[in-house]
Amino acid sequence: MSALKHPQILLASDLADGEVLFLGPEGWERDHRRARVAQDKEEAGALEAFGKAEVAANRVVDVYLADVEVGADGVPTPLHYREKMRIKGPSVRLDLGKQAQGAA
């Protein structure tokens, strides 16, 4: 097993509605807290291979791995700005997306 500098999760965009998705233990999730975390290069490679197959099946687009930090509670938190913004939802209309659902 080859270690990663940081654990990683797999992100994609839903082909039907453009919503950001995270690969979870049983398929695509809309909540990053349920994302499957790769701890080594082999696990990351398996996640990436699954993502490429999903792209080929026209389920998702823009598949990539992102570095995360895993908290004591087991929740992965993205380390980079792009993914931090993607988990928050659209930034132009606060009445839409994840931020609107969280306010309800």
> In the chain, where are the structural domains located?
3-103
pLDDT reported for residue 17:
85
Residue with tokens 């696990």: 43
Structure tokens at 100: 């609107």
Comparison of pLDDT for 89 and 37, the residue scoring more: 37
Per-residue pLDDT band at 2 (split at 50, 70, 90): confident
> Is the model's pLDDT at 47 over the cut of 80?
yes
User: What pTM was estimated for this model as a whole?
Assistant: 0.84
CA dihedral angle for residue 17, residue 81, residue 50, residue 72, rounded to 10 degrees: -110
Average pLDDT, the chain: 90
Per-residue pLDDT band at 97 (split at 50, 70, 90): low
pLDDT reported for residue 61:
96
Per-residue pLDDT band at 94 (split at 50, 70, 90): low
> Is the model's pLDDT at 92 over the cut of 60?
yes
> Is the model's pLDDT at 80 over the cut of 90?
yes
Contact by Cβ (8 Å): 37, 51:
no
42: Cβ–Cβ under 8 A, 6 or more apart, which residues? 1, 2
Distance of CA 98 to the CA centre of its chain: 14
HSE (CB half, 13 Å, CA atoms) of 59?
A: 14
Residue with tokens 């940081």: 6
Contact by Cβ (8 Å): 45, 6:
no
